[in-house]
Structures are given as structure tokens and as C-alpha cells.
């Protein structure tokens, strides 16, 4: 696919647009909810147990501590100033072997997330990471889903408002084309080409056998090429019960998205063979909107609907004594988040 066709594809498929192009037209909606709450940064009260309500700059490790431990991977917090050899010794002693996942403790959009295969790769990661990070055992399940959960402060049970299946970025061999050629045949993977060249180098010259799948990015991140498919229609009573049993035990959590690795949807619904790899609070998107089959109008309706729930929960919690974020602190948070995102993009 040539450069101009690729640009045209990005222009005509809104899922690739920058966030400002998607969200700025909705500013009057956010302003309405801000007036209703009497605070521009009302979201701080949505999840009182999360820093900034889980909008930005929150520690993943602190959120993991909120989740019932049987539902999360083994995780170790690491200071960027620690000695790599000592850290690795602690990691292996904790029963986390190669390969494992390293990711920023405070991060977003899967920036800085790496699958670590060796001691040298781990040492390199520690040298380049700009912040403290987590080491996490690799979960064997090959499917990932994002589940959006909402529960009002006085409700005993919450509800699921959206489910997205995340298809990892990959190519399928034809027995003739190199991985590089296969990447260029699909705009979704072609748009990730520069990052893939940096990651795989000369390995992209390899020719895959016919039908052989090669995972390019083993993470369910939209910004790193994963395809999001809306499967909200597969919601069932058992799945609602499983997710609610987890979230209702998390004190001070009312609004956000759970990212879950699982084996089959049937087993997940029954509470078997799954792991919660991340929870996003007020800043979590209802990512089923990014299904290529959905229009921008659909996305705007869903964003507005979820903002309405976020606003209602925040107001109810504020009445219970939980504070909003001041305008000054809110601006500082946004500046810090922007600076950190710029650093993580360089990893």
C-alpha cells in the first residue's frame, strides 16, 4: 500500500483520528456536565480510592492492591533506580520466569509495555525506561477483552455497559511473502510499520509458511494496531455476576474498564481461566466504540452516555464528602500526563 492510499485510509476511517478530533466536538457536553457538578474536574470523585479518580497519573500497582489477588497476575513494583541484577533476582525468586511483561507503573495506551525474553533485554529496558515500572508474569491466555463496569454508590450491584474483543495485530503467511510484505498489505499493520521495523529488524524478511500466524504486537492496544470488535451483545447473566463479584469487592471503585485475558467467553462467564491485567478508572474509554463497523455518531453517543454516568456517580460521591479536583490541580495533572506520554512514546 503506497503512502497516499495509507493517508486516505486514515482520513476515511475515524478510528485512526487523533483524540482531539474525536473529543473536541463534545466539549459542550463536558461543559454541561461540569456546570451540573459545579466543577470542571468532577471526575475525581467518581472513584475515591484511585488517584485523580483514575483519570490520569494513577499508579497501576496501587490499583492492583485493590483487586482481589486471585484475579490478577503476579506483579512486582520496580524503581527505575534499582540495580538490574538485584531486581531480576527478586523477580525470579517470586516465581516470575522468562518471558514476562514489563510496563510503566504510571502509563497509558500500552506505551512502554514490553515482553521481556532475556536478561539482556531486561537490562536494556531498565536503562531506557523513564519511570518506575512493573514486572508481571506472562498470562498464558491468548484472548483479551475490555469490559466497562458502572455501579452507583448506593447500589449493591453494578452493570456492564460495553464489551470489546481485542484482536492482537498479526499477519498470516502465504508461503511466498515476507513478513514485511504481509505487513504492507494491511493498512492496520502498515500504519505500525516504523515501530515494527525497530522491534523486529531483519526478522521481517522471513517468509511464513502458508496459514502460519505471526503475532506482531501481543497486546490489546488500539494505538499499537489491535483491532477492536464490539461484542456487547454477548453479555450474559453469568458474566455480569463474575465481573460484579470482583468490582463490588473493590472499595471506592464505581466506574471504569477492566482489561481481561481469558481462554473462552464461556469459562470467563463462569469465573474460570481468566486474569484481570489492568483496570482503568475515569480515564478509561468504552473502547467498543472503536469497532470499525461503528460510525463516529455511534461513538459520540456512547461517549456522551458514559460521561453522563460518570457525572452522576461523581455528584453522588461528592455529596458523601469526596472532593472534586481543583482547577489548578487538574491543569497540573494534565500537564504531567502529557509530559509522561511524550517520554513513554520514546521507549
What is the structure's pLDDT at 218? 87
What is the distance between the alpha carbons of residues 231 and 72, in angstroms, rounded to a whole number?
Answer: 23
Q: What is the distance between the terminal CA atoms of the chain, rounded to a whole angstrom?
A: 27
For residues 281 and 346, membership in a common domain is answered with yes
Structural domain range at position 300: 32-73+141-168+218-347
pLDDT at 161 over 90: yes
Under the banding of pLDDT at 50, 70 and 90, the label for residue 311 is very high
235 and 331, same structural domain? Answer: yes
Q: What is the CATH number of the domain that holds 273?
A: 3.30.470.20
302 domain-assigned: yes
Q: SS3 of 206, please? A: coil
Q: Same structural domain for residues 182 and 69? A: no
My answer on whether 148 and 108 are in the same domain is no
The answer to whether position 24 is within a domain reads: no
Q: For the chain, where are the E strands, in sequence order?
A: 75-78, 100-104, 114-116, 133-137, 143-150, 159-167, 169-172, 213-217, 227-230, 255-262, 274-280
Identify the CA nearest to 251 among candidates 153, 344, 164: 153
Rg over CA atoms, the chain: 21
Q: Which of 298, 282, 278, 303 is nearest to 144 (CA)?
A: 278
Residue 234 has pLDDT above 90, yes or no: yes
pTM (2 decimals)? 0.94
- What is the tens place of the pLDDT at every residue in 122-159? 999 999 999 999 999 999 998 999 999 999 999 999 99
Q: Is residue 278 part of a domain?
A: yes
Q: What is the CATH number of the domain that holds 98?
A: 3.30.1490.20
- Indicate if the pLDDT at residue 251 is higher than 80: yes
One domain for residues 88 and 111: yes
Question: Is there a single domain that holds both residue 185 and residue 308?
Answer: no
> Looking at residues 70-91, what average pLDDT do you find?
95
Q: Are residues 188 and 64 in the same domain?
A: no
Burial of 91 (0-12, 13-18, 19+ CB in 10 A): buried
Amino acid at each position: 500500500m503506497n503512502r497516499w492510499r495509507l493517508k486516505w485510509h486514515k482520513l476515511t476511517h475515524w478510528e485512526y483520528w487523533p483524540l482531539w478530533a474525536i473529543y473536541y466536538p463534545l466539549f459542550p457536553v463536558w461543559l454541561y456536565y461540569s456546570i451540573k457538578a459545579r466543577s470542571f474536574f468532577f471526575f475525581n470523585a467518581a472513584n475515591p480510592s484511585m488517584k485523580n479518580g483514575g483519570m490520569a497519573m494513577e499508579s497501576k500497582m496501587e490499583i492492583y492492591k485493590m483487586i482481589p489477588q486471585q484475579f490478577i497476575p503476579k506483579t512486582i513494583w520496580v524503581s527505575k533506580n534499582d540495580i538490574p541484577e538485584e531486581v531480576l533476582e527478586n523477580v525470579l525468586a517470586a516465581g516470575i520466569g522468562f518471558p514476562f511483561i514489563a510496563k510503566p507503573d504510571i502509563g497509558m495506551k500500552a506505551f512502554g509495555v514490553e515482553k521481556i525474553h532475556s536478561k539482556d533485554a531486561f537490562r536494556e529496558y531498565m536503562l531506557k525506561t523513564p519511570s518506575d515500572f512493573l514486572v508481571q508474569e506472562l498470562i498464558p491466555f491468548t484472548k483479551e477483552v475490555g469490559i466497562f463496569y458502572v455501579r452507583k454508590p448506593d447500589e449493591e450491584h453494578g452493570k456492564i455497559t460495553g464489551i470489546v474483543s481485542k484482536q492482537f495485530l498479526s499477519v498470516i503467511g502465504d508461503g511466498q511473502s515476507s513478513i514485511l510484505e504481509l505487513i504492507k498489505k494491511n493498512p492496520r499493520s502498515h500504519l505500525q510499520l516504523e515501530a515494527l521495523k525497530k522491534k523486529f529488524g531483519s526478522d521481517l524478511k522471513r517468509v511464513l509458511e502458508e496459514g502460519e500466524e505471526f503475532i506482531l504486537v501481543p497486546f490489546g492496544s488500539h494505538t499499537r494496531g489491535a483491532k477492536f470488535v464490539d461484542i456487547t451483545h454477548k453479555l450474559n447473566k453469568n458474566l455480569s455476576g463474575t465481573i460484579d463479584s470482583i468490582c463490588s469487592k473493590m472499595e471506592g471503585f464505581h466506574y471504569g474498564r477492566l482489561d481481561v485475558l481469558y481462554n473462552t467467553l464461556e469459562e470467563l462467564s463462569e469465573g474460570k481461566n481468566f486474569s484481570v491485567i489492568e483496570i482503568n478508572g475515569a480515564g478509561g474509554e468504552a473502547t467498543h466504540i472503536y469497532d470499525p463497523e461503528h460510525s463516529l455518531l455511534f461513538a459520540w453517543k456512547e461517549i456522551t452516555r458514559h460521561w453522563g454516568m460518570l457525572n452522576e456517580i461523581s455528584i453522588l460521591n461528592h455529596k458523601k464528602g469526596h472532593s472534586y479536583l481543583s482547577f489548578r490541580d487538574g491543569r497540573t495533572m494534565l500537564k504531567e500526563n502529557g509530559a509522561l506520554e511524550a517520554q513513554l512514546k520514546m521507549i
